[in-house]
Structure 1
């Protein structure tokens, strides 16, 4: 199901069709499709006429979920640039690696995060820094309710520095020029989390991303009603899951995306839920769990909600049940990874199988293999491999790393252990690297966590393997107990009643909180250190 359209072509079609409808909103501002088209044209024109950048050059976007993001990403792609999505909370060390690895020449950064860029810019090839404040687009929006003064020009940090409003003003003086783009040209360098080594840039083409957007909207046809959906976006747009769902799939069908700038601020997130008649909610297990424990969320009107999707980490059965009990909506779990733009599988509406990630989206092949690479049959645990139009071109300037995961026939080794059922639905057993081997028996942390999280006194938990003189490895479980109390002895008895002896955690450690990434994933690697 390969799509031969570029991202700008998809956007152009959407803006013509849905011009006056709201595309994005957040922090009291809203951006129509016409606004999105006009302002992204202005940014493209700025890049073309007021910088020395050429098509194929890399620009970094370092922003939380502000309405500026879709303007910037679509403007950059219209100008033929390659976008490097950059985590706003990266340390100077992480910024330096990513900027230099990608060869970034221009950065757009949120004003409250400019310090990190200033610290490293002298040691990079960056020529221009564009700084934007959260409410900066106010004067440029046709739907803005108030006039917000233009910010003062930011202080120069050693290279040309200007505000986004100034860049858009400069760009508005000329027309953006169409660029000769192919659907197979690279659109993004999407950096992996670096959990298996140095962070690498997955080369995602226009076709990878537009194909995946089309795969998603086809697979979930009943959810994407043209021009009618209002979907909450608490996950960061710099993450490929949120980008493809909100900036591509939803935009292609005229959806309204409600951006949450800081999902850790649950009070603000709940206010967004209260003020919008949401029809869709895209999140992940830890966020659903936090909301279900938030008093304000219990008062929200969710009568318009039609769907809830989960990805990024395993969804526990306890959270799935609690969400359905509270909202009446069964969470549809899906599966993907950066290298697949990202969606591979998803549970379709009306055919959800809890405990699975659904079946492959159209045009996607999956198989499981043993350690020697031999194909396994249904219901056998093996490494999941994926082939389809959404699979990346490879890792940026890392041919050896590419060969390790991508073969000559286009099969991508995911590193995830899975079972493909007889009916085609896929169950992710666990990350290959997270598997614990106890006396020769394979133990999968997700199973331990799923069972443990169902105990009434457990708020969150995470399982890892630790060295053990007798069994090679043993299971250690980190637990965040519920504020209402936690009986450790009773908990241990519960685990013994639910798990085979070798799976029962040998060590349990209570914690106030578990380490998480900015996307909300629990970081098992930090628990191992």
Structure 2
């Protein structure tokens, strides 16, 4: 019989097995504690403007009072937010939560079809949208339950005259704000002013109340709203705080928030956890502008940064990044997709800070496993289940497997979502009767309790009856100096059922398919070697930078 929680023996000395998930009744309780404690400290910065915890308190109260007093929204109503990272974002999130309402984070890059699905599915009563995306809202608003649209310009919370200049340049010089017309829309600043005329009532927020409807599954089918309760998020904040808190200096951390706040990783790990620490979130609006991003990084003595593999890889390949002062940096957290060994090793070499891989899902708020922060170097693992979390590997018949056996990774803990919004059938498919969340990721656990993702269940390639995991192929190809990015997918093959295809973005323009094949022959057994090599200028990605293997697979199948 395998011992229960074998990973506990590998925990850093300062980390407890369990956390107190009932210490705070809601996210708002955590927020209020931080607002009192760190009132004069900087909470958020963006585009040269900073907000103190005191200002976040004031503005979020005004927004909450507007939603309840002017719009007459009732506890549990949903409010959508459709913006990139900017100062309005945390004000809006905390305002919605303080009003006892539910946040529906919305990807600003959505097409009208995707936006309409999310607004209708969530039953959102109001939406806050940045001007750049107003036209998308205009196209669908009549077919949704939304009663009030609140609009804002990227520069609206900046100081005068920069606020006007930013908005003018975006609209008239860069032409990034298409004209739109939404009758009765109100400006965000006006909403805050109206909020000042109302007193925010005492709202009793229960732990089981839904804090976020966090939509997920857009890359694997119809987008579903994960119901994340206040208890789910408080639990995850407590878990992550225990894991990284011993290394954090309360009230002194500066974290780079380049992943969008509408994504669960940045939302919890950066905005919520570092708010609990009294940290300073340095918001990056457009991390895809890598040269601009590096320029921003050179201005601030940041202590922490989170990201996905593609973001770290992009930074490492941007001129000037290696000249930045990394002397304050002590936490680099990678998640959202597999971190490649080549990227992790180079990150350590350039910054002196180990890239620590963590693992989570929207459905787990998101953190489920994390590597110890004192890890001397990248170990290829997603780490250990965090406090108060159970994990196991199961076969298709729900039998738990032993050490080093490959099966589906399953998670159980207080951070596991309540279920999918109005989709009990979909919830039943992913959460079993014993409360295990079936992640769809194939994994194994070693003798020390470290878990290793082998791949997505559905991304697995079957070559002549042998399982090929794309991550392994990608890791090997990524080690070639001439490769900037790579994705491996399975394509139909007459002989073997499926064959491996790699799609590569070159770093060295002279890189050839034959060189790739020769490297693969040296490092991969026969059936894992790519039969097809394609070069492209870029790979299809989600807005967060996750490579869309499915899109590559579909394209390959269509051209066979």
**Which residue of 482, 494, 505 corresponds with 1:469?**
494
Offset, 1:157: 4.2
Offset, 1:147: 7.6
Please give the per-residue CA displacement for 1:357-379, whole angstroms capped at 9, x wherever unaligned.
11011000000001111110111
Does the aligned pair in 2 maintain the 1:457–1:487 contact within 8 Å? no
Offset, 1:76: 0.4
**Which residue of 104, 127, 143 corresponds with 1:107?**
127
In structure 1, the partner of 2:201 is 177
**Which residue of 138, 146, 153 corresponds with 1:118?**
138
Q: TM-score, normalised by structure 2?
A: 0.91
Please give the per-residue CA displacement for 1:287-342, whole angstroms capped at 9, x wherever unaligned.
11111111121221111111111001111110111111111111000000000000
Offset, 1:149: 6.2
Q: Which moved more, 1:288-297 or 1:65-74?
A: 288-297
Distance 1:156 1:303, change over 3 A: closer
SS of residue matched to 2:246: coil
Give distance in 2, aligned partners of 1:120 and 1:181.
32
Offset, 1:194: 2.1
Aligned residues: 523
Give distance in 1, aligned partners of 2:50 and 2:217.
31
In structure 2, the partner of 1:200 is 224
Q: Verify: 1:249 aligned to 2:273, yes or no.
A: yes
Q: TM-score, normalised by structure 1?
A: 0.96
In structure 1, the partner of 2:414 is 389
**Which residue of 444, 454, 465 corresponds with 1:419?**
444
Unaligned stretches of 5+ residues in structure 1:
139-143
In the TM superposition, what are the counterparts of 1:208-247 in structure 2 within 5 Å?
Answer: 208-247=232-271
In the TM superposition, what are the counterparts of 1:93-492 in structure 2 within 5 Å?
Answer: 93-138=113-158, 144=159, 148=163, 157-351=181-375, 354-492=379-517
**Which residue of 77, 80, 89 corresponds with 2:100?**
80
Does the aligned pair in 2 maintain the 1:280–1:307 contact within 8 Å? yes
Offset, 1:28: 1.0
Please give the per-residue CA displacement for 1:254-300, whole angstroms capped at 9, x wherever unaligned.
00110000110112211210110011111111111111111121221
- Over the aligned positions, Cα root-mean-square deviation in angstroms equals 1.7
Please give the per-residue CA displacement for 1:20-40, whole angstroms capped at 9, x wherever unaligned.
100110111111100111100
SS of residue matched to 1:11: helix
Give distance in 2, aligned partners of 1:311 and 1:149.
37
In structure 1, the partner of 2:14 is none
**Which residue of 532, 535, 538 corresponds with 1:513?**
538
Offset, 1:175: 1.9
Does the aligned pair in 2 maintain the 1:186–1:206 contact within 8 Å? yes
In structure 2, the partner of 1:495 is 520
Does the aligned pair in 2 maintain the 1:15–1:37 contact within 8 Å? yes
Does the aligned pair in 2 maintain the 1:348–1:358 contact within 8 Å? yes
Unaligned stretches of 5+ residues in structure 2:
1-18, 169-176, 555-560
Distance 1:313 1:148, change over 3 A: closer
Does the aligned pair in 1 maintain the 2:291–2:319 contact within 8 Å? no
Please give the per-residue CA displacement for 1:86-118, whole angstroms capped at 9, x wherever unaligned.
001100000000000000110000011111001
